[in-house]
Structure 1
């Protein structure tokens, strides 16, 4: 009764009613803001998280390993992590659970200049590859090499900074590099007809890619907050797949990238998100058999401990009414 009287008095004086309690969620990106993060910034602009009772803080990342460490240790409630990297972190004791898949198709690409004499993966032997030591595809090189049909030690790896990949390839300091497919347009623009590339998913290596991983203890202690965070994120990605323009505009400032380039990159992100051609799974949903294949690859490459799909992902936080994305084929 007293509370109703106070609220009525506040309304009469033109004062705002107290805001509902918000669950604080810190999300660590896998890297700096880009097109793949556009739905997050757009949803923030639209107050979608606030309206869902989530006080969301977005932190820039420094690679999947960093995001896995921050999230697995509980310093953040959620992180965008490449799935193989998350599985490696789990094998080292991090309690991480995937709540929503972003890249249902592997984003790993290998790039080279045709003028270097490389015609395809069969010519990788004896070549200089450049990437940071923690680069996702470099970390997974033992499995990629197996798919190519060569031994992992038949290429030489050169340590370079992430932002030096294109320049190092241009200068000839390296003969090949790895990059996520969502920046494929940069290589096309830079190298034109001299560009050679292969996507690992086209040569038989297609593990799950980037996903929203949650800190396990937080998720289990706060299932409602975890569900509201994931479902809000799911709705944001659905909206941006339907109408990308306002989403890429929302991330242009944080990404310090032109809207035009972000729009091109988003189309590649949408391609990587395509999954479940027969329908029946929710957007961001994961398949146990596919996850088992990803687990098996990580175990083979890194002698990781045994783990079950049910330990590393859940579809229970997703809204089953939001259908999976089926983009046009390349």
Structure 2
């Protein structure tokens, strides 16, 4: 993939000086929903502007979407699953992209099913039908989840589905469960009229999956040339998250201002779910958001080895670079 896009990268290299000083377009992983509120708050509340940055947020099409965009230089910064980044870098050695700020300290990878379809716990997935979009970050981690829980994967029928049809198929009973992010699939089902007491959310992180989740990623060539801009971007992002943690209603409204077709109450719930389960973890609240624990990262790599054969020796320093993180005081969430 990276090789095919190298021509675009070369062309964009010539354009870097034109926008490197102040403009930092940001590639999201997904649509404008509750968890994207922090980035809009950082715009609306002047945090990016205070850092001398002009930031435009662009929606994505899945957890893998931002990685090649940032690797080619089409975007200097993005938001992506760090586990997918590991595999991308293994398959594209030397690609100029790395993670610089952990956001989902506890990943939202989940299996979301319906009791009426027989899904009540992990064991009930055996013999069921699972809907999974091939580019989905949660689906990418399913083999680790399955191995950690001794699932009989041969008994599970996997139905490839598209992102737009994932929850509707579950709502219609065409599949028994789906892979997805906990806060997205759950509330999408609610919006489709599925009773909340019929929905079961199995968070992989609660069942043996020790991975990290989505992080801010950066083009390393851009970062090397613009270290202060990258550090300022991360400082503004942390302030944006602190803002929406303090006032989720404000954050939800910031999302609806960009996505008028959305439901402000639903997006506030989605944002709160992400805050409570994925962002404001005990580690992040104590140490400030953005950093990682080296021992946990090493364990995550070892766990990934159980289901993915690295072509090159994995190296945590390739996947996460903490040098651009602002001081901890500037990353506190309260």
Fold shared per TM-score above 0.5: yes
Query: How far apart are residue 309 of structure 1 and its match?
Result: 2.3
CA distance 1:279–1:24, shift in 2 (3 Å): closer
| Contact 1:288 1:310 survives alignment (8 Å) | no
Structure 1 counterpart of 2:209:
205
| Contact 1:84 1:209 survives alignment (8 Å) | yes
> Secondary structure of 1:144's partner?
helix
Structure 1 counterpart of 2:157:
156
> Which shifted more, 280-289 or 179-188?
179-188
TM-score norm. by structure 2 comes to 0.85
Pick the aligned partner of 2:279 from 259, 273, 296. 273
Structure 2 counterpart of 1:77:
76
Alpha-carbon distance in structure 2 between the residues aligned to 1:152 and 1:225: 46
Query: How far apart are residue 177 of structure 1 and its match?
Result: 0.6
Q: Does 1:178 align with 2:179?
A: yes
> Secondary structure of 1:293's partner?
helix
Structure 2 counterpart of 1:315:
322
Pick the aligned partner of 1:224 from 222, 228, 237. 228
TM-score norm. by structure 1 comes to 0.85
Query: How far apart are residue 299 of structure 1 and its match?
Result: 3.1
| Contact 1:284 1:318 survives alignment (8 Å) | no
In structure 1, stretches of 5+ residues that fail to align are 1-20
Structure 2 counterpart of 1:129:
130
Pick the aligned partner of 1:259 from 254, 260, 264. 264
Q: Any idea what the Cα deviations from partners look like across 1:172-207, whole Å, max 9, x if unmatched?
A: 211111121223344456233222331111111131
Structure 2 counterpart of 1:56:
55
Alpha-carbon distance in structure 1 between the residues aligned to 2:319 and 2:159: 33
Query: How far apart are residue 214 of structure 1 and its match?
Result: 0.8
Q: Bigger radius of gyration, 1 or 2?
A: 1
CA distance 1:153–1:34, shift in 2 (3 Å): same
Residues 36-51 of structure 1 mapped to structure 2, 5 A cutoff: 36-51=35-50
Query: How far apart are residue 130 of structure 1 and its match?
Result: 0.7
Structure 2 counterpart of 1:146:
147
Structure 2 counterpart of 1:6:
none
CA RMSD of aligned residues (A): 2.1
